[in-house]
Amino acid sequence: MTIIKIKIDKIISSGDGLGFLDGKAHFVPQALPNEIVEVQVIENKKGFNRCKLLNIIKASEFRTEPICKYYNICGGCNMQHTIYNNQITIKKDIIQDIFRRNGKIELEDFEFVESKDINYRNRIQLHRGNSGIGFKRRQSNEVVEINNCPLLVEKLNHFILNKSYPNENKITLFSNGINHFIGGKDSEAHAKILNKDIYFNPGGFFQSNISILPKLIDLVNRYVVGPRVMDLYCGVGLFSAFLPESIQSIVAVELDSRVKPFIDRNTNGRNITFFPMSLEEYILRGEHEKSIIDTIIVDPPRKGLSDEVRNFLKHISCKRVIYISCDPTTMARDIKDLNEHGYKLIEFKCLDFYPNTNHIESFGVLDFE
């Protein structure tokens, strides 16, 4: 295969470095901006090449030694080769680039809420290998067996080291720092957040970094307006559970009907109406026409808001939308559409839920004008 020398211009949303040679894009994992690197072209496409990093000819001043012995082998994280402050800088640049291209929005300098960069993950999904468990290699189904991960809270590392896991091909683990819970075996897990126990299914979705959750909850509460709130893609009712006492009524919608017992427990005493259905079905049934809403909270999956949901937001009488996203590309698309139909983005922040990886959690506030 072809071996070339190339300068890296920037990091893209996948975490790969991007450089150009003769006008053609080259994607290089584990490279950093302004580095000159020697790479091997391993995939030659019409519009781009995928490359393997062979040698760093001129290293970035922000490069550092990875803290994990499995780095570059397992697919668990991809930014350990640069210092944490530079990870934040890179992620800011990625966000601004995405919003410029996909949202036609120029984001000025914005707050990026930081997290501790090791021992932060409370939830993990592991796969069984030949003699142990681990993560899959990047773009592969091969399992890299591990006995430690520096991103995990210590309770999970002890669990892996003691090999006390069930005989399953895929294992979901959660630890609240004191106890551990196994998805599929334990029907209920709990974590203390802002001095309140929040309950959920350890095999279902829940944020993997609970240490930074209070900051996200604080942002939601800071920007919620009016006494009537709609919590869409509500999960186990995390945001509803912490809404200010001034909130008089909550409408919550979640596709997974199994979360109802957790919502009831987490929002005990609140005036909440729960609809166990997809948001699209909720809209189709016209249920929203029965409610007057001041603030809508949306926390969609990676695919973002569907056409039906965006149209719903365009036409409902609502003062404010709080948008929480795990994918800045779809968030930028959605906000562009809403901006063109009467909304204005008045606040934007990011939270680093997943240090040492390329993943970014974003927070936006849109007012209808």
- Answer yes or no: are the C-beta atoms of 18 and 47 closer than 8 Å: no
Contacts (Cβ under 8 Å, ≥6 apart) of 138: 29, 75, 78
**96 known member of a binding site:** no
Residues 6+ apart with CB under 8 A from 85: 62
Answer yes or no: is 299 a known binding residue. Answer: yes
**Measuring CA to CA, which residue among 188, 154, 184, 187 is closest to residue 171?**
184
User: Active-site positions?
Assistant: 326
Spatial separation of the C-alpha atoms in residues 63 and 82, rounded to whole Å: 4
Could you tell me which of 8, 75, 80, 64 has the C-alpha nearest to residue 38?
8
State the amino acid at position 217 in one-letter form.
I
Are the C-beta atoms of 8 and 19 separated by less than 8 Å? yes
Closest alpha carbon to 355 in 159, 215, 150: 150
Nearest residue to 354 via CA among 108, 8, 77, 169: 77
Residue 323 marked ligand-binding = no
Q: Is 207 annotated as a binding residue?
A: yes
Question: How far is it, in rounded angstroms, from Cα 188 to Cα 200?
Answer: 6
* Buried-state track 309-346, b at ≥16 Cβ within 10 A, e below 16: bbebbeebebebbbbbbbbbbbbbbbbebbeeeebebe
Residue positions forming the annotated binding site: 207, 233, 254, 299
